[in-house]
Amino acid sequence: MNNRFGGDTGFGGGSSSFLDDPQGKLGRIRDPVVSVARWVKLRDQREKGILLGLLGLVTLCVLYWVVRDHTHLFVLAEMVHIVGIGALVYKIQSKRSAAALSLRTQELTFIFLFVRLYCSLLMEYDIHTFLDFATLVATGWVIYSIRFKLKHTYLAQADTVKLHYVVAPCLLLAVFIKPKTTHHYFNRIMWALCVYMEAVSVYPQLKLLQNLKVVTDTYTSHYVFALGVSRFFSCAHWVLQFVDRERDFIEALGSGIWPLFVVGSELTQTVILADFCWHYLKAMAAGVGTIRLPV
């Protein structure tokens, strides 16, 4: 918009005026947040992985000092998982679609939750039992919806991971590497099985999204991100419990290489989800719902 002297006031989309930038320094103003984001973007994949690991380590240290009782982190992890399942329930109810959802991940989740609920009823019977039951029921409803109510929207051709390829190795590993506690032999195998299956249960979902290459369904993205956050809190719970070296915790976990495999499983599922969470955060920061995944 021009004023009566023929000059541009800078209003209505014109070039910057004296009123906007009285000292002519606007071009030299630098936003540190933007600069850091641009610097991170220019890093290669290996450097980004290192930065992500350092961010996780810093967050772990913050949780160590802020959260007094580190057992609460596992409760928090289970609650975040329920929030993620809630996003799926809302998507199915409102969109009437199972697109971009992996039936295999839901089935694996149902199996490890069922086994963990069985172990919880025998060993704990506390708030974890209630949360696992609630998540199990919600997961069962999602499986039923995908298989029967919304079968025509399920992308079976993209859900390529076979269930037995995941369950069989986990069961074999559970037979040989399990807790050395006073519990029954079968129960110890079940405990190990649910730990190993939880670590890889999200893999079919990530494989499906990778096959699609572009994720436009925001509710599925919210669900997978919630799983990533849940797994991080769960991993933090185990790591910080080891740091605390609480006697009851160490005795309950047993001896041998089993404790190392527990922590290794937690780290595995966290790493598996870290890459998706990175792309999710980039998409949300850019204000778009579309996530483009690398091959």
Which two structure tokens, joined as six digits, stand for 127? 């708030």
Q: What's the maximum distance between 2 C-alpha atoms anywhere in the chain?
A: 92
Q: Where are the domains of the chain?
A: 99-292
Instruction: Write the DSSP symbol of residue 148.
Output: I
Handedness of CA 67, 51, 208, 175 (dihedral sign): negative
- State phi, psi for 93 to the nearest 5 degrees: -70, -40
Entry pTM: 0.76
Q: What is the dihedral of CA 155, 161, 162, 165, to 10 degrees?
A: -170
Successive 10-residue mean pLDDT values, the chain, 295 residues: 44 44 49 63 68 70 72 85 92 90 96 92 79 93 95 93 93 91 87 92 92 85 91 84 65 70 84 84 78 73
- Residues 149-172 as b/e (b if ≥16 CB within 10 A, e otherwise) read ebeebbeeeebebeeeebbeebee
Query: What is the Cα–Cα distance from 35 to 51, expressed in whole angstroms?
Result: 16
Contact assessment for residue 160 and residue 211, using Cβ atoms and an 8 Å cutoff: yes
Give me the pLDDT at residue 112, please. 94
Q: DSSP letter string over 174-225? A: HHHS---SSS-HHHHHHHHHHHHHHHHTTHHHHHHHHHH-EE--HHHHHHHH
Give me the pLDDT at residue 234, please. 86
Contact assessment for residue 154 and residue 98, using Cβ atoms and an 8 Å cutoff: yes
Give me the pLDDT at residue 192, please. 92
